[in-house]
A and B are shown apart, each in its own frame.
Chain A
Amino acid sequence: GENVEQHPSTLSVQEGDSAVIKCTYSDSASNYFPWYKQELGKRPQLIIDIRSNVGEKKDQRIAVTLNKTAKHFSLHITETQPEDSAVYFCAANSNSGGSNYKLTFGKGTLLTVNP
């Protein structure tokens, strides 16, 4: 099955700096890679996703890059703000037998943005 590794487990940055979180996956058939943000005690919420037919996607201060050959993808947050502080999870889908619904999540990155 799919295995997703996420690094770093904790990340502390100053307000205004950039933050980068990296993930690797094992299943070369995976074709969908979402990123979820989870504030303490809250539900995970999708912030951006990318499909395997593109290499990069941007949404305001957030971007995701995908390298299918190396099987890794990264989340980039620019101009970080204190409200960006949360746990971020990457995920990859399993794409076997025509069924691609199952997401495997990384262990999460606790991002702290210091004012």
Chain B
Amino acid sequence: GAGVSQSPRYKVAKRGQDVALRCDPISGHVSLFWYQQALGQGPEFLTYFQNEAQLDKSGLPSDRFFAERPEGSVSTLKIQRTQQEDSAVYLCASSSKGVVVGTGELFFGEGSRLTVL
């Protein structure tokens, strides 16, 4: 497809379960971002990849959160031992611009809504 694709769209997990959220960015986009959007709030930065390199993970809330992009395209955000406070929409975004070139338009996916019971 032409846009950023995320799966699953909805995930319900019991507290303590591990979850994995997938992002397919726009083909050829160098940069990939994960953002967390709590209900009624703006997106908050989690982590940034340029190709396969994770250049910034300063926004990850705890060591239970892990992201990877091994081949520089598809990315997975993994959350271990989920807690209720992890409930949010997780947005993936990609951009054709790299960190050195400058800020370019972010193209967001529809998000994965995680509910932890």
Interface of A with B (CB < 8 Å)? Answer: 4, 6, 31-32, 34, 36, 42-46, 49, 89, 91, 93, 98-108
Residues of B near A99 (CB, < 8 A) are 55-56, 99
Interface of B with A (CB < 8 Å)? Answer: 4, 31, 33, 40-45, 48, 55-56, 91, 95, 97, 99-100, 102-103, 105-106, 108-111
Q: Give the shortest distance, in Å, between A8 (CB) and chain B (any CB).
A: 14
B48 touches A108 (CB 8 A): no
B106 touches A105 (CB 8 A): no
B45 touches A103 (CB 8 A): yes
A101 touches B91 (CB 8 A): no
Chief secondary structure at chain B's binding surface: loop
Q: Give the shortest distance, in Å, between A56 (CB) and chain B (any CB).
A: 19
Please tell me which one of the listed residues B33, B42, B109 contacts residue A43 in the complex, with CB atoms under 8 A apart: B109
| Alpha-carbon distance A90/B105, docked complex (angstroms) | 13
B99 touches A107 (CB 8 A): no
A108 touches B40 (CB 8 A): yes
| Alpha-carbon distance A104/B58, docked complex (angstroms) | 13
Residues of A near B105 (CB, < 8 A) are 34, 46, 49
Q: Give the shortest distance, in Å, between B5 (CB) and chain A (any CB).
A: 11
Q: Give the shortest distance, in Å, between B98 (CB) and chain A (any CB).
A: 8
Q: Give the shortest distance, in Å, between A75 (CB) and chain B (any CB).
A: 14
B43 touches A89 (CB 8 A): yes
A101 touches B48 (CB 8 A): yes
Q: Known contacts being A32-B103, A107-B41, A108-B41, is A101 close to B110, with CB within 8 Å? A: no
